[in-house]
Amino acid sequence: MFNPDSKIYLAGHKGLLGSALQRVLAAKGYKKLITRSHKALDLTDKQQTEAFFNAERPEYVFLCAGKVGGIIGNKTYPADFLQQNLAIQTNVFEMANQYDVKNLMFYGSSCTYPKLCEQPMHENHWLTGAIEATSMGYAAAKIAGIIGCKSYNSQYQNKRFICVIPNSIYGENDNFDLENSHVFSALIRRFHEAKKAGNTEITLWGTGSPRREFIFSDDVADASIFLMKNSEKLENQHYNLGTGTDYSIKTLAEKIAKVTGFTGEIKWDTRKPDGTSRKLLDSSRLLALGWQPSVNFDDGLATTYDWFKKHYD
């Protein structure tokens, strides 16, 4: 059973979610955490991956490693997003199965739901329509991972593979690069730099009307631990993971302007695309198991901005 003495491998421990898991697990008293940098272990290489599993024999795996990025990155390098994520998933899944890992946690993406999906998006809506074209390569790899979890469980008659689909994660150690980040972290950096430069206005893409749901990284980590502990109660399906509350991009921009201290005018370039109008998950299946998010959005935003200032100034 998953407990503080379990041997746990955190794949991708330096990223947004992996670092949150490392932080939350350590705070809960989990001592046997195994980590490797990408330089020390290339999970796209099957031989390296097998040698690692053979030597370390982890009991539990949180698979946070992978290539992620924003709209620009996904549109520019779709083959890289597809190939690298598929390779990591294929190697880690197979080694987890071969070396009798008790449970592996895989993280899907809300971009695997149809672009024009009924809201909020329930697990039953998955693969019922065409996905957003701009994230096709990344989404295809994530779809393969979700199907992979269900396939391994079905073929080997166990509940080894657990799959969750979190909505947009934010928090400490996020990627704030303007070319490769998501909307939350990109706006934090843009407003911070506009305030620092003394700008009197800032122009953002679209109309500001699309709505997005955000969940703090520590909440995702806490939910992940909860699911590991309750793996025997889970069905062979993916579980949505969100807060149940979404915000318009306009509201998000106003909140970020306030926390960064930017007092200039926010303008909207309506010639630029808005993207999907709404992405809200129905997380009732997971919540019915007894877990609840605990981090208030404004508190999470303030924590994230404090971290950003310390590490990016």
Burial of 307 (0-12, 13-18, 19+ CB in 10 A): middle
CATH fourth-level superfamily of 8-177+213-246+279-295: NAD(P)-binding Rossmann-like Domain (3.40.50.720)
Per-residue three-class SS string for the chain: CCCCCCCEEEECCCCHHHHHHHHHHHHCCCCCEECCCCCCCCCCCHHHHHHHHHHHCCCEEEECCCCCCCHHHHHHCHHHHHHHHHHHHHHHHHHHHHCCCCEEEEECCHHHCCCCCCCCECHHHCCCCCCCHHHHHHHHHHHHHHHHHHHHHHHHCCCCEEEEEECEEECCCCCCCCCCCCHHHHHHHHHHHHHHHCCCEEEEECCCCCEEEEEEHHHHHHHHHHHHHCHHHCCCCEEEECCCCEEEHHHHHHHHHHHHCCCCEEEEECCCCCCCCEECECCHHHHCCCCCCCCCHHHHHHHHHHHHHHHHC
Q: Which of these, 255, 266, 264, lies nearest to 207 by C-alpha position?
A: 266
pLDDT digits (tens, 9 = 90+) for 57-103: 999 999 999 998 877 788 889 999 999 999 999 999 999 999 999 99
Residues of the chain with pLDDT under 70: 313
What's phi and psi for 153, nearest 5 deg? -60, -40
Terminal-to-terminal C-alpha distance of the chain: 43
- What is the pLDDT at residue 196? 95
- Domains of the chain, by residue range, sit at 8-177+213-246+279-295
Rounded distance between C-alpha atoms, residue 10 and residue 22, angstroms: 7
- What is the pLDDT at residue 180? 76
The catalytic residue positions are 138
Among left, alpha and beta (phi > 0; psi -120 to 50; other), residue 100 is left
